[in-house]
Amino acid sequence: MNRFRTTLLVSVLTFVIAAGPAAAQFGDLLKQLPTLPGGVPSTGSLGDVKIGQGLKEALQVSTANAVSLTGRTDGYFKNEAIKILMPDSMKTVDRGLRTVGYGPQLDELVLSMNRAAEQAAPAAKNIFWNAIGDMSIDDATKILNGGNTAATDYFKGKTTPQLTTAFTPVVEKSMSQVGVTQQYEQLLGRAKAIPFLNTESYDINHYVVGKSLDGLFHVVGEQEAQIRANPTARTTELLKEVFGHK
């Protein structure tokens, strides 16, 4: 890969990210690309520029859809694949407390954890889209030729620390506002009064942040898989061309 083509792709992606064009404008951008060395127009074949743009667009579509699906009321709570439940280490405590009549309080705790995740999810969009700017030609090629969630795995590696930082204060604020942390501590205290229950302190905020990210990446992966496998999910000509040629 020569320096000219690498520089060209970086310049195009930088421009696209800065301008933030709608999906329908990608075709116009492609027509404006200069001719590559040797007199071959960059739009004449499925080259590196088009692959890079196609991956960018696919990632924008999949992440925007995922944020929309999770960052709304019941986005987590009514999605059984990502619904945040009590921690595995607390299942015995959960059963014990339900046995002695604390089921409604536990259900409210679960609902509140999911509501916190739903409030935090919208913060992911800009972090995801900013990460696209770091995608190299090699990254794009590997993602295109990778498995059904290769792009999602790329995002996990690139954005998890930033997402954790962004989600934590939102989750903590949400949990505090509805009294989740206090409710959790009260339930834990009641569990300690039940004979034979092994109870231990648990960082509930840290747990909710982690499960929120797990759920978000799960939905991003679903959206990516749809674009790869389902032609009707490729909503623009560029997506159809790039993924149709795969």
Read off φ and ψ for residue 176, nearest 5 degrees: -70, -40
Average confidence (pLDDT) over 232-240: 61
Q: Which long-range contacts (CB under 8 A, 24 or more apart) does 221-228 make?
A: 221/148, 221/149, 221/152, 222/66, 223/61, 223/62, 223/63, 223/65, 223/66, 224/58, 224/59, 224/62, 224/148, 224/149, 224/150, 224/151, 224/152, 225/148, 225/149, 226/62, 227/58, 227/61, 227/62, 228/148
Q: How far apart (Å, rounded) are the C-alpha atoms in residues 71 and 52?
A: 28
Q: What is the pLDDT of residues 29-81, one digit of tens each?
A: 333 333 333 333 333 345 667 767 777 777 888 899 999 999 999 999 999 99
Read off φ and ψ for residue 47, nearest 5 degrees: -95, -170
Q: How far apart (Å, rounded) are the C-alpha atoms in residues 229 and 149?
A: 11
Q: What is the pLDDT of residues 149-188, one digit of tens each?
A: 898 999 999 999 999 999 999 999 988 876 666 777 776 6
pLDDT at 137: 78
**DSSP per position, 42-92:** TTTTT-HHHHHHHHHHHHHHHHHHHHHHHSSTTTTTT-TTT---S-GGGHH
pLDDT at 113: 92
For the whole prediction, is pTM greater than 0.85?
A: no
